[in-house]
Structure 1
Amino acid sequence: MVTWQLDEQLARVFPVGRRLRVLDVGMGRGAQALRLARLGHQVTGVERDPELVAAARAALTGEPDGIRERVRLVQGDGRDTGVHFLPGSFDVVLCHGVLMYVEEPDPLVAGLARMLAPGGLLSLLVRNGDALAMGPGLAGDWTGALAALDTAALLPRSRTEADGDAPAVPGPEGRADRLSALTATLHGIAAPLHAWYGVHVFTGRTPAAPASPDALESLLAVEERAGRTDPYRGVAELLHLCGVRG
């Protein structure tokens, strides 16, 4: 579900009409990197977990020569991109599901923005700090919902309003970020917010799955529409933010 929604949302903001240099930070097993390479883009994947890098390499061996030639895999930390690449080396930088495991995201995001050429796209997928209580609340876990509300109350509304720039409070699924805080961060690093979406507005918080292909098609249509529609996108489990480098 997350993968499908991200692909749909990226299609709305991806530069069109040319092959792009893409940096995928925290690539995992490389599924997204391979999808982009199949579309003709030149993709560099960065992942610090050696087992995931090995899995990505194994997946890459099954691809045709032309696709393998368009993919470069690097074992490393997303905070060290300046060690591996020159500033302005990429047209698109993806950082999906990474910031939630970083205590303080601003230096990482700033470093990623430096990798972008002018007009380049920075895509972030984060936990939504404005909707932490939705999951336990919808499940009837009132104790958990209260705890999530307490946690959310400690998150900075924006970087400028953070008490001593304190990091977002970690939870069992990692850190969470507010839209306003990351919007301020993107503005401060000259990659202002261009578009944002919700991911998992109705799904992801419950294990139920559609019972039929028709139900799945309807679910995907609802999630795609809600993910770009107010006020629904604001209570999604995840936020997808896209900034454009000036």
Structure 2
Amino acid sequence: MARQLDEQIVGRYPVGQRLRVLDVGMGQGTQALRLARAGHQVTGLERDATMVAAARESLSAEPEGIRERMRIIEGDGRDTGVHFLPGSFDVVLCHGVLMYVEEPDPLLAGLARMLAPGGLLSLLVRNGDALAMRAGLAGDWAGALGAFDTTAYRNRLGLDVRADRLGTLTATLAGIGAPLQAWYGVRVFTDTAADDAEAPADVEALLACEERAGRTDPYRGVAALLHLCGVRG
């Protein structure tokens, strides 16, 4: 997914331009730090105090130049209007957050307002059109049948969350002025792997297959996750 995001950034902005990036629900700050290391000015927003502490610890180990390029704010992604002025960012990330939000439209509208004209909104969501895949591949036929007509599911943490459908999000992005420009599938082949599974010996081949499938129909349509990129008009 990092490669897909970089592809979209390179396609929209001159090489070497220092972008203003907002990472909403940044978690431990892995993606935010990666972008700060690449020279961008990054703001990470996270409401979980444990995650915030982990991100600050990671940042403290970075060179001074990177520390100066990144700031961390403890707060909720639904309150971006409290923290920032409209149009304050060139890139807004919201990865792995929507599944925890019962009504995502207000959050997405708020994120779109944070974008400068031509700005990029990057979303990573659970694919509501493929919820039956994991259960079906595991031989859980009852679970697979029950997943066809819902966007609710239980994640690996045991939490009851929700997925999003490509068609619905496409309409939402158009409605908030950041229409969909590109989308990718993420974890087409690897969603059933255990979280603690060792990397296979041919990991490069695996990544190449995932990268190709994530860009290719019909494979990307059954990916566990969708990476959507909208652009502010």
Q: Look up the match of 1:211.
A: 200
Structure 2 CA distance for aligned equivalents of residues 102 and 50 of structure 1: 18
**CA shift digits 1:84-115 (9 cap, x unpaired):** 00000000000000000000111000000000
- Once residues 229 and 108 of structure 2 are traced to their aligned partners in structure 1, the CA distance between those partners, rounded to angstroms, is 12
Indicate if the aligned counterparts of 1:136 and 1:145 stay in contact, CA closer than 8 A.
yes
The amino acid that maps onto 1:205 is: T
Distance 2:53 2:37 in 1: 20
Q: Residue 220 of structure 2: which of 219, 233, 236 is its match?
A: 233
Aligned to 2:152: 170
The aligned residue for residue 166 of structure 1 is: none
Report the CA distance between 1:26 and its aligned residue. 0.3
Distance in structure 2 (CA, Å) of the matches to 1:36 and 1:216: 24
TM-score (norm 2): 0.93
Is 1:23 matched up with 2:22? yes
Q: Which residue of 2 aligns with 1:184?
A: 171
> 1:129 deviation in Å?
0.5
Structure 2 counterpart of 1:7: 2
The secondary structure found in structure 1 opposite 2:122 is strand
User: 1:205–1:237: 8 Å Cα contact kept in structure 2?
Assistant: no
Residues 21 and 42 of structure 1 are in contact (CA less than 8 Å); yes or no, is this contact kept in structure 2? yes
1:106 maps to 105
Secondary structure of the corresponding residue to residue 57 of structure 2: helix
Give the C-alpha shift of residue 171 in structure 1.
1.7
Distance 2:152 2:135 in 1: 16
Cα 1:41–1:47 change in 2 (3 A) is: same
**1:82 aligns to what SS in structure 2?**
helix
Q: TM-score, normalised by structure 1?
A: 0.88
- The answer as to whether partners of 1:19 and 1:40 remain within 8 angstroms in 2 is yes
Q: Corresponding residue for 2:59?
A: 60
1:206 Cα deviation after fit: 2.8
User: One-letter code of the match for 1:225?
Assistant: R
> Is the Cα–Cα contact under 8 Å of residues 47 and 75 in structure 1 kept in the other structure?
yes
- Correspondence for 1:197: 184
Matches within 5 A, 1:33-72: 33-72=32-71
Cα separation, 1, equivalents of 2:26 and 2:209: 27
4+ runs deviating over 6 angstroms = none
| Number of the residue aligned with 1:165 | none
Indicate whether 1:148 and 2:147 are aligned.
yes
Distance 1:71 1:106, change over 3 A: same
Q: In 2, distance between residues paired with 1:93 and 1:241?
A: 12
Counterpart in 2 of 1:224?
Answer: 211
Shift of 1:209: 4.8
After the TM superposition, which residues 84-103 of structure 1 pair with which residues of structure 2 at under 5 Å, given as runs? 84-103=83-102
Mark the runs of 5 or more structure 1 residues left unpaired by the alignment. Answer: 1-5, 152-168
CA RMSD between the two structures: 1.0
Q: What's the offset of the Cα at 1:143?
A: 1.0
Q: Which amino acid aligns with 1:195?
A: A
% identical aligned pairs: 74
Separation (CA, whole Å) in 2 of partners of 1:142 and 1:150: 14
CA offsets 1:16-52 (integer angstroms, 9 cap, x no match): 4211000000000111111100000000000000111
- 1:82 alignment counterpart: 81
In structure 2, what is the Cα distance between the partners aligned to 1:66 and 1:204?
A: 37
Q: Does 1:116 align with 2:115?
A: yes
